[in-house]
Chains A and B, each alone.
Chain A
């Protein structure tokens, strides 16, 4: 159960970016968790709320994108998604592959923040439309 420590790091990273940008509040924090990251989503979400209490992130939501493990299959000459992390075999041709291409991700991708009135004429419109979906 190291998710509390992970949650601390998430809050630290998000707070630093928010403060640097001059934000007054944080609406959401978007993280990516690979299937082999060793972090349990539920435990991280639980810890996040506790760690946020009393900080500028209090009340913000943690949005988790889970990424499945993907390996490169030399026989199929393509990247394939594993059906399970208990079996590192190409689901198309059954050839074992340990050539991991996705699954260890453990990162903060972006945050949504509140900025005070815009003095530069930017509306910020469209900024929230960013798609966090990384899956192909």
Chain B
């Protein structure tokens, strides 16, 4: 009997990354811009997405959405009110979405009929940061009710995201939310990240967000 060292040098999440890579290729081939929304529970992802879907539809665009939750299809029902295709992914207790779940839930959709695919991740600021879902853009949401220091408490997810959206700005004054401090904290963990301020209730900041999406789509469109 002898002891041997076997070199492996393999990513622990290789399997997920490979599925995500194939999915991204497929989504690009269909001309979709895919957006992964991550945040803590209760930050207003669903309300923000509902407003986004409705606005895109009114502009004559073709969005679709997948929404992840541990249980219930409440969010899918809310999003479907926007009149666009929506599917719920129940993770049965798992704290994040994985690329295979996205692939499975897209199986019976005609992807080329869509322009935007939104994935509302499970509300969790830790685990979703490790899982590539084949998205083009990862958007992290931070609501004013959570406090300005969230980025410092969860640097991984903020650092892994491309855009930060501050939600529930209509409550900022009541919460004595310090927007400057929030911006500084975001920049501390992800220098240069674009930050948008929005309110799904009043619609404030939504046109900037839609413009941002259109820009991302144009940028990818030129590449694809």
Interfacial residues, chain A to chain B (CB-CB below 8 A): 1-2, 5-6, 9-10, 13-14, 17-18, 21, 23-24, 27, 31, 36-39, 85-89, 96-98, 100, 106-118, 123-124, 127-128, 130
Contacts and interface: CB of A to CB of B under 8 A. Distances in A.
Interface string B8-24: 11111111000000000
B74 interface: no
Given A21-B6, A96-B192, 10 more contacts: A2-B94, A21-B4, A36-B156, A85-B156, A86-B152, A98-B159, A108-B8, A112-B5, A114-B2, A117-B1
A130 B126 CA distance: 33
Contacts, number: 127
Contacts of B159: 36, 85, 88, 98, 100
How would you classify the secondary structure of chain B's contact residues: helix, strand, loop or mixed? mixed
A53 B187 CA distance: 44
A70 to B, nearest CB: 13
A6 B12 contact: yes
A114 B155 contact: no
B191 A111 contact: no
* Residue among A14, A88, A112, A117 facing the most chain B CB atoms (10 A cut-off): A88
B130 A110 contact: no
5 contacts: A21-B6, A23-B4, A114-B3, A115-B3, A116-B1
Contacts of B5: 110-112, 127-128, 130
B145 interface: no
A17 B6 contact: yes
Contacts of B4: 21, 23, 112-115, 124, 127
B3 A38 contact: no
Interface in B85-104: 94-96
Nearest to B153: A86
B3 A107 contact: no
A13 B12 contact: yes
